[in-house]
Structure 1
Amino acid sequence: MTDRRPQPADLWAGLNPRQQTYLTVIYSADQNAEASHKGDAFTWSRTPASEWRWLPFSIKAPAALVGRTPIQSALAAKDEHDQGAGSSLAALRRRALIEVQDDIVQTVLGPVPRVRVKMTTLGRATARAGLGHTAPKSPPRGLLSEWLWENLVRLFRAGPDGMPEYSPRGTPPEERTPSHKALFFLQQMDRQGGRLVETKQMTTGAEPFKSYMGHMVTPTERRVLLTAAGRAHYEQHVRCYAELWPGVDAPVPDELPEGAHRSLDDHKISKPRGLLARPPFLLLAALAEADIANELYIRQEWSRRWTDYGRTPPAELTALPSGLTNTAVRHITRSAAAPAKLLEFRDGPLAAQKDVPPHLFPRHSSPDLQLTVLHLTDAGRTHYATHLDTYRGLYDDVETPDAPAEWKAGAVS
């Protein structure tokens, strides 16, 4: 009989007051870092959590010269000083609540040793148990955060004419047009049905007037309104949001479309055995799109350069298969394992990989550059076509091109 796995509340109770203080301070710094990086999914930087969750704990140099880290300052504010820090960190690390790493950082004194710490999932759960915090609620994939849902509801209430791009001074907060930040997120989210909101120049309904040039002008203004995709998203998921964010007063239309979700249970769809998880499917869909369009960026771009110089592109270049280079793959999914899932699929490889010969590279390319092309196999085309409807149900926010008829028949040459 195996021992029961320690529960977060038990782990917290087993810490002495000093260790609890250290865990609390590190947890607070971790949550601050998470809050500041929440927008990374909508930027080009996309710094992975495996990097930004590492937090500087101490710099092994005189504080008068290099200063204190935020964690050290927070500990000092709680009357905890540097003496004994090593033993406290070691105790937390032994319990798998944090990870500790030594590295070197550049300072005014030159390179000096530094200690960094990172919360583990168990560490965050233990800190929440001790502090009485609840884990932040994450909406199912494809649904909006509470803040964005509030903004979408405001636009739904405004009706088909939407709201002015800028709210007049004195407008109550609950009636104001969504902020530019909210509109940015709602407009930039990639969804299969399209963007949820749009900004349009619309007539105001005021009487036309004569301009100084003598012609009649119809008054217009820029307004923000739901798109057809935004209204469809609202109607499809309004009952899910009522369960997820009950504090938001969202009207339920008298008539909802057929198939509208009844509750969050409709999002609890288990992946059938033999299908891909989301990251490798994102890659499979992107490869399908490139294959259907007969596209490979380097093949088109590099061939154009040869043609511009009046030369015929090499046969090795024009023969490269349609697909994605390894550099492009990293922009599709941040999962390093996703390509391997396609290359090593248990029923047969869904994709293959081809090296790009270095002599084809443009001049002035980095000597360390290594390019490969990931492309679909016949098995990959058949798998995509056979299971496309199921995948669309599983990952309804992913752009998925229709499969050609010959893929469905499995008659790809």
Structure 2
Amino acid sequence: MFQKILIANRGEIALRVLRACKELGIQTVVVHSTADSDAMHVRLADESVCIGPPPSRESYLNIHQIVAACEITGADAVHPGYGFLSENAKFADILAAHNITFIGPSGDHIRIMGDKIEAKRTARRLGIPVVPGSDGAIGDEKEAKRVAAEIGYPVIIKASAGGGGRGMKVAHTEADLEVALQTAKSEAGAAFGDDAVYIEKYLEKPRHIEVQVFGDGAGGGVHFGERDCSLQRRHQKVWEEANSPALNAEERSRIGGICAKAIADLGYSGAGTIEFLYENGEFYFIEMNTRLQVEHPVTEAITGIDLVHEQIRVASGGGLSVRQEDIKFNGHAIECRINAEDPRTFTPSPGTITHFHTPGGLGIRVDSGVYSGYKIPPYYDSLIGKLIVHGRNRVECMMRLRRALDEFVVDGIKTTLPLFRDLVGNPDIANGDYDIHWLEKYLAKGE
């Protein structure tokens, strides 16, 4: 087991990893920018190192400074959390060159899954169902029209190196395709420095289903069930559930088994999430995230297994602590992402939190690194906390969530709490009857 882990992140995920390390008796080091000097994870860590000014590129994305912090403090491993350098193959390679363990997959696996075209090819080779589309990057408009005609309209154009909705355009007819292709390539080039795009069949009313997987790096792999992340705004997840209201036990077992076998065949090490669009009983691969997900707590709630503990165990060479037959699913869990944003316009709302009170009681968990008097800096992601609720079934979970949202108090800034209080009372949400377009339509109506 590791002696000292450096946590290369901030906010609630840095605190989440720190807590896991303390439970395992591992010393902790956190890095931080000058803007985060008073952050909760900085206060609670055994050691902290300031690595630069507020801009991410000068601090949390500064590989040189993070490696230097490891060497200064004697950290023998780095946990990247999510975001920032968590899916940076170069970072993983550099750490390996310095004999520091990256708590995550190999640089090669990060590269494969970070390239959306190569990821799709790999998924197909591993037996994972994929969305019909181009085999690789689209060369020109003529090729785009040929592929679109073969798979049928509507189609969606996606950036090969992208994510988060950037470089992503829908064409409903051939007349739309030229502008959509040019716009997607332009956005992709500006956002990722790579304008390569590919085409897929656009599904009209799919759900977003993701499967949590773990590999031991030695040909073993398991799945921890699925999460439903269909409630999204601009391709950003807002509310996540485990298990999905749309799947039955047979479908859950089938897609989980496919993913576990694929991850084992790949020789993958650590946590990963294989994401799908699901429509009319069929799953279609869209991407794989080679890191811990923001929504991992709902999986922990229904399995009772600490996924960060598993990450650390696998990275240290200890293998997986569970076999597939050991993993049982208990009840239902929902996570709401609490952002420092206006609940209608979603404009960021940095500032000082004057009062912060979290709900409690059976089945309630709040992952947050903020506190009363904390000043939210304007430089980073607006996520300030996650409310995770667990119940014996979805009905009980929804009842508990409604109560927990009523207890949650954040004063001094605007948050998305009012949005969730609206959603929890909506009949479609109560019935689990929604798809990836539902939330944007709901918001557009101004309900």
TM-score (norm 2): 0.23
Greater relative contact order (Cα < 8 A, sep 6+): 2
Larger Rg: 1
- Structure with more helix by fraction: 1
TM-score (norm 1): 0.24
